[in-house]
A and B are shown apart, each in its own frame.
Chain A
């Protein structure tokens, strides 16, 4: 078991003929992900690494019945691509693209709610259920199948933690990057609920960062609804207020969104919070020696 993606995932790649789209399609295919179709407007009829390309998502859905889509479309057109996937009835839309205007992301999020679809991202590395499917851009080789569920707002920081887990013998049920933007489709709370219900997830690792209040909401949810042990890390203890730290969403506004507040909230909810990414694996080992 796992959450969100598995061996039954039939993936559509939007922006499949682009440099990123084509490169990662090859990587995902090599991992064993069932990439069944691609879309690039005007390039219908072509193939990319043997995957048929369609002009519209509607055509791709009719021909190949994908049940998830991943978006590598440039920022100016990515929200429209997400709308196209949602309106074509695809239930899971993973948006890798960084730089989508916030007001566009808001409209995509609310469209998803209306249509019962789920958006992961934008500005995220995607999802991997090791041994089953990779729907993203993460380096596959650092992952192993196992029982730790990982959820994070970051990319390489997640790889760092996953790599430390794998090196210590802790595989992952699923690793989900929810994205570094101020407005994202799926929050920590949503993913925590999925991990709590997943019989194959025994320990949850949550990697947060400065900005917003997703970690605080996660803490409240954990104290009320999560029975599984949670280990956390929050990046940005040394980040100055009012400055955007790379991710559009990583900014302390006024005095809110600081790492100190988030760590305190998580610890109060019983989460063991590591002081460095590498220490996450140590804390997991203490729970599951």
Chain B
């Protein structure tokens, strides 16, 4: 789960990490009040869960409260990568002597959390890694000991920090680590971490991603989820416990298992069409889940053919077949359906489908071929939209 900057900075603040004074606003009036309270120049920043807001004009500096209201007026409601801005963060503008980078990540191959620091802040860490890999210092964190003082000092010296900032840097790094581990984060980036002219460190921006699998033990953090930026179908799927990602193609997919769902999308592409979505109904899916999945996929207006691919192991083919038939009866399916059904109780599943006038194929490649040929036999506009998608 991605957090907004204003949410992440509140968490950092509670762990003693210095952040600029500021508050979040959802109207120009609120932005004005906040700016007036802060006094002096402020930065007004769009709060959206996509990157690139600076380039899109979503970050503006305002010399006073009236200018802050104007800036908020311009930013609120604008769209950044298709996402409407609903809130802005109004923060005191800071003078900057130098910009650093400090981030915590999960290092998958070493199976540990790691801190990365760089003297080259203000640009993306991937960019630094590509152009100046020698400017990144990394330390791995022992899961039982946490970030040790000497490791934080190694980072500080590694990025050439002046000794007078050492104590402050070590405190800040250990605060970041505690915030990371105690919230079960999977990413926590402070970029830039500024050195101010009065020789202090200040976290000017914060990016935080929490581990969805750990939210059960952080109900306070789970409630921070902003669903307003989510595709409504993805939201509904998540509520139902289905894993769904919307794409831009024309062939809707319903599959059991994440790996098989990805492979199904790939085989559709191999047959020269585009998948409309990723959807994993999970193991042992019951008829009602299949019906719910079909409803979600069909609610996407781009879907012109639906391909259902089930490899029955724990999932029983007869249950899936009942779900398909139930969905056909409840909602009425307006697009052609291709069903590939093999495995546990396959015969019974085929019989149930046959009674409803559906034929199941047994090969995945053949199912994709049929789906693509059904797509191509539709109105020519379908093929044209496919290309645009």
Contacts and interface: CB of A to CB of B under 8 A. Distances in A.
B325 interface: no
A162 to B, nearest CB: 10
B181 A210 contact: no
Interface string B128-170: 0000000000000011100000000000000000000000000
A103 interface: yes
B191 to A, nearest CB: 14
A248 B210 CA distance: 12
Given A235-B262, A278-B363, A246 B278 contact: yes
A106 B259 contact: no
A287 interface: no
Contacts of B144: 107, 110
A157 B184 contact: no
B278 A76 contact: no
Interface string B260-285: 11110111111000110010100100
B227 interface: no
B106 A276 contact: no
B41 interface: no
B220 interface: no
A170 interface: no
Interface stretch (B61-69, B107-115, B374-382): B107-115
A75 B216 contact: yes
Given A102-B186, A238-B247, A246 B181 contact: no
B344 interface: yes
Given A159-B311, A163-B311, A276-B365, A209 B213 contact: no
Q: Which 4 A-B pairs have the closest CB atoms?
A: A154-B259, A246-B258, A156-B257, A157-B259
Contacts of B213: 75, 99-102, 248
Interface residues of A, number: 61
A247 B343 contact: no
B111 A110 contact: yes
A102 B214 contact: yes
18 contacts: A101-B184, A103-B181, A137-B314, A139-B313, A155-B258, A159-B311, A160-B260, A160-B311, A163-B343, A180-B259, A238-B247, A238-B262, A243-B245, A244-B245, A245-B261, A246-B258, A255-B126, A277-B260
Nearest to B180: A103
A240 B260 contact: no
Interface string A148-161: 00001111111110
Nearest to A277: B263
A76 B184 contact: no
Contacts of A248: 212-213
Contact of B126 (A183, A209, A254): A254
Given A103-B184, A110-B143, A157-B262, 11 more contacts: A101-B217, A156-B311, A157-B260, A182-B108, A236-B265, A236-B266, A237-B269, A238-B269, A245-B261, A276-B263, A277-B364
Nearest to A153: B259
Contacts of B22: none
B303 to A, nearest CB: 16
Contacts of B275: 238
Contacts of B278: 239, 243, 245-246
Contacts of B283: 137, 155-156
Contacts of B260: 154-157, 160, 235, 277
B262 A210 contact: yes
B214 A239 contact: no
